[in-house]
Amino acid sequence: MRYGLGLLLSVIPLQYASSETSQWLQFRGPAASSHQPQASPPIQFDAASGKNVSWQVDLPGRSAGGAIAVDGQVIATSSSGMDQRRIFISSVSSKTGEILWEQNIVARGRPFCHPYSANAAPTPASDGERIFAFYSSNDLVALNLKGEVVWYRSLGSEFPKAGNDTGMSSSPLVIDDTLVVQVECQGDSFAAGIDTKSGELLWKIERPHQANWSSPAPWVRQGSESMVVLTSGVDVKVVNARSGVTLATLDKGASTISSALAIDDRLYVAADGMTAYQWNATTNKLDKLWQSNKLEPGNSSPIVFGATVVALKGGVLTVADAQDGSIRYKTRLPDSGSIWSTPVVCKDNLYVFTDTGRCFVLTIGEKSAEIVATNELGEMVLGSPAVSDDSLLVRSNTKLWKIAKSE
């Protein structure tokens, strides 16, 4: 495969327009909520005609992850070449689609993965000053916004039994100046907190020796310490983000693909369908609120907005009451194929990308959901879209897209 580089040969301008609603700094965006209430991306768009496609750009390899938006830059990772060992980080101008800079190195850990996936499977993350790119091979790179290396850890070399030859895909999380990675497999299985500035290991805890693809979820409660939720096939663990100290543990198996979601004092976990917990500040325990077998996220992670909780499985969207888990209704997405990405909610619209590159846009009502548009990108999408202002940033198999209203 050709590594088409479009390097910016001059000094990179650092002054990019940014606002709170333009930043989408990690997998599932702000607070991992998959929710951007102020944004209004186009309802309709089409790759073939170019309708509401601001730009599309070829990237130097494949990816199963999503893109992020940082200070006017759209950041995406790729892998290509022999055994997908060549791994890339690309910065693209959100305004023009021009490639601003690219970095690439050779994966030092295990690069193997299912042909459907890619070494570049996790979604990158950022703290607004640095970019953190993580790969199935457990290579972990920190760059500044000019694309210069800040630090680099080859976790696959430091922990040689870390890896899953089906492919790893847990996305890193930035919280409280700590980069949290969840490297769970049958070999060296652990979660770790790494200082975002220095790359030094702050904490490392052993995790169940089972394959797991779910991502660490942030839990920031008002007036409380920053917490991280780690879910696996055998447990749910809440740890302090900066120290890794365990704050609560449930001996309950959760999905090994879908990730948890924490909002305010509540935690939603894909376990026994879906189970909601309340943080008990008195006992420092998780009190179970409700559980519903009928509300099971498949590959996607749960979404909660307002009093509504949404789960997507097998092309069926289940909408329920977030207070008690009672089912409001189900909607089947026609010819949906497989869905691996987590949808995003903008205002009342839900954007669902399938693995064929089809995007269903649904208006989520109290009693029913209406499919208001079915759009086609024409290329496989496995990663979750990012939302930046009124645009969607979509990483498809080989391309990066900006979906925004045509001027």
Partner 1 sequence: MICMLNFIFSKPLLVAHVAAAVFLHGSQLQSILGNDFSQAIATLRTIAPSENGNRQAVPAATLLQQASGADLIPVLTAMKDATPVGRNYLAMVANSLYRKSGSALNSQLDEFLQNTNNDGEARHMVLQWLTANDTKKRNEKLAYMTEDPSLELRFAAIELALTRAEDISDKASKTTRLNSLFNSARQPTQVIAIAKKLSDLGQPVDMIKHFGFVNRWNLIGPFDNIGEAHFDTVYPVESDLIGNKSSLSAEYAGKSGPARWIQHTTDNQEGVVNLAELYNKEKGAIVYAFQTFEFETAKDIELRLGTINANKVWWNGELVTSNEVYHASMEIDQYIAIAKAKPGINRLVLKLCQNEQTQGWAQDWKFQIRLCEADGTAVLPK
The correct pick among 30, 160, 253, 273 for binding partner 1 (CB under 8 A) is: 160
Residue 83 within binding range of partner 1, rule CB under 8 A: yes
3-class SS of residue 245:
coil
Q: Strand 369-376's sheet: what is its strand order? A: 344-346, 349-353, 358-364, 369-376
Residues in a beta bridge with 392: 387, 403
Residue 177 within binding range of partner 1, rule CB under 8 A: no
Nearest to partner 1 of 4, 37 (CB atom): 4
| Closest separation in Å from C-beta 401 to partner 1 | 20
Joined tokens for residue 168:
């790893």
Q: How far apart are CA 110 and CA 6, in angstroms?
A: 28
Nearest to partner 1 of 139, 176 (CB atom): 139
Residue 108 within binding range of partner 1, rule CB under 8 A: yes
Residue 185 within binding range of partner 1, rule CB under 8 A: yes
Joined tokens for residue 212:
């797991």
| Closest separation in Å from C-beta 242 to partner 1 | 17
User: What is the contact mask toward partner 1 in residues 2 to 41, using x (rule: CB under 8 A)?
Assistant: xxxxxxxxx-x-----------------------------
Residue 390 within binding range of partner 1, rule CB under 8 A: no
Q: How far apart are CA 231 and CA 260, in angstroms?
A: 7
Residue 184 within binding range of partner 1, rule CB under 8 A: no
Q: How far apart are CA 206 and CA 5, in angstroms?
A: 39
Residue type at 130 in one-letter notation:
R
3-class SS letters over 7-65? CCCCCCCCCCCCCHHHCECCCCCHHHCCECCCCCCCCCCECCCCCCEEEEEECCCECCC
Residue 61 within binding range of partner 1, rule CB under 8 A: no
The correct pick among 66, 172, 199, 298 for binding partner 1 (CB under 8 A) is: 199
Residue 164 within binding range of partner 1, rule CB under 8 A: yes
Nearest to partner 1 of 112, 290 (CB atom): 112
Nearest to partner 1 of 211, 373 (CB atom): 211
Q: How many CB atoms lie within 10 A of CB 182?
A: 27
φ, ψ at 38 (rounded to 5°): -85, -15
The correct pick among 186, 326, 368, 406 for binding partner 1 (CB under 8 A) is: 186
The correct pick among 61, 72, 109, 122 for binding partner 1 (CB under 8 A) is: 109
Residue 266 within binding range of partner 1, rule CB under 8 A: no
The correct pick among 98, 165, 287, 324 for binding partner 1 (CB under 8 A) is: 165
H or E segment to which residue 157 belongs: helix 155-158
Q: How far apart are CA 299 and CA 316, in angstroms?
A: 12
The correct pick among 31, 43, 105, 205 for binding partner 1 (CB under 8 A) is: 105
The full DSSP string for 167-206 is ---PPPEEETTEEEEEE-SSSS-EEEEEETTT--EEEEEE
Q: How far apart are CA 331 and CA 87, in angstroms?
A: 39
| Contact range with partner 1 by CB under 8 A, out of 135-143, 251-259, 263-271, 371-379 | 135-143
Q: How far apart are CA 308 and CA 65, in angstroms?
A: 26
Nearest to partner 1 of 1, 372 (CB atom): 1
Residue 151 within binding range of partner 1, rule CB under 8 A: yes
The correct pick among 45, 101, 219, 353 for binding partner 1 (CB under 8 A) is: 101
Residue type at 136 in one-letter notation:
S
Residue 127 within binding range of partner 1, rule CB under 8 A: no
Among residues 179, 168, 190, 272, which one has the least CA distance to residue 226?
A: 179
The correct pick among 40, 56, 166, 338 for binding partner 1 (CB under 8 A) is: 166
Residue 255 within binding range of partner 1, rule CB under 8 A: no
Size of the site for partner 1 (CB under 8 A): 58
| Closest separation in Å from C-beta 327 to partner 1 | 30
Q: How far apart are CA 373 and CA 207, in angstroms?
A: 42
The correct pick among 22, 104, 258, 349 for binding partner 1 (CB under 8 A) is: 104
| Closest separation in Å from C-beta 253 to partner 1 | 16
Q: Provide the binding-site residues for partner 1, judged by CB under 8 A.
A: 1-10, 12, 81-83, 85-86, 101-110, 112-114, 139, 141, 143, 146-154, 156-158, 160-161, 163-166, 185-187, 198-201, 211
